[in-house]
Amino acid sequence: MGELSFTLADGIVVLILLVSALLAFARGFVHEVLAIAGWVGAIFATIYGLPLVRPYARSFIDNTTVADIGAGVVIFLVSLILLSLLTRAIAGQVRNSQLNALDRSLGFLFGLARGAVLVAIIYIAVDWLVPRQDQPDWIRNARTLSLVEAGADMLRSLVPSEPANRGARAANEAAEEARKALETHRILRDMMSPEPRADGDRDTGSTGGYDRRERQELERLLDGSQQR
């Protein structure tokens, strides 16, 4: 019964697929495809348009970072709005034509495929954040898990190995830097607030400074940060 039970993960998968499919069915295949193309077009418009708009934005805003971000956001939003209006106009023409039924049917299939891709992306993120052995039973025992894993493996195979490895190395390096920063903060905090020494320690001529272990640990962390 355990392996055949319908878990929460199965419900989430079915819900995502149905919502995506119904939305695509209501809007139509042409609208959904052009909507994605509109987002891609807005991104490219921002990439190629920002160098042209940047000087004007910086002439009005002193902070160059804020100026660049603001210019990029404006270009992206304006491009997305214009392309969305074009998408609605084209989709409306198709909806009012004899291709309406075919457009909606293809939209439903497109929505299912889009939902499957979204589920696979979510699973990849969960699998990266939570080790498989630590995942809850309602994920590991889901009836749809094998299908989701197959979709996730297919998406991973589409990513070139070198960028994927580079991204994994960057994530590991960031985690290591964060760990070292926390360790340095802990050592500095302990050194700035040393525990009061007993009277017997003061009688032995101790200066109350940092001990050799603390100094060596701090030097090791500082040397490691400088080398990076």
> Of all helices (H) and strands (E), which one includes residue 11?
helix 8-27
Question: pLDDT tens for residues 17-65?
Answer: 999 999 999 999 999 999 999 999 999 999 999 999 999 999 988 888 8
Taking CA atoms, 5 is separated from 18, 31, 145, 149, in Å, by: 20, 37, 12, 18
| pLDDT (mean) for 110-132 | 91
For residue 11, what are the contacts with CB-CB under 8 A and spacing of at least 6? none
What does the pLDDT look like over 69-95, one tens digit per residue? 999 999 999 999 999 999 999 998 998
Q: Give the CB-side neighbour count of residue 116, counting CA atoms within 13 A.
A: 17
**pTM across the whole model:** 0.61
Closest CA to 24 of 116, 138, 130: 116
Compute how many other C-beta atoms are within 10 angstroms of the C-beta atom of residue 28.
Answer: 24
Torsion of CA 151, 154, 158, 164, to 10 degrees: 80
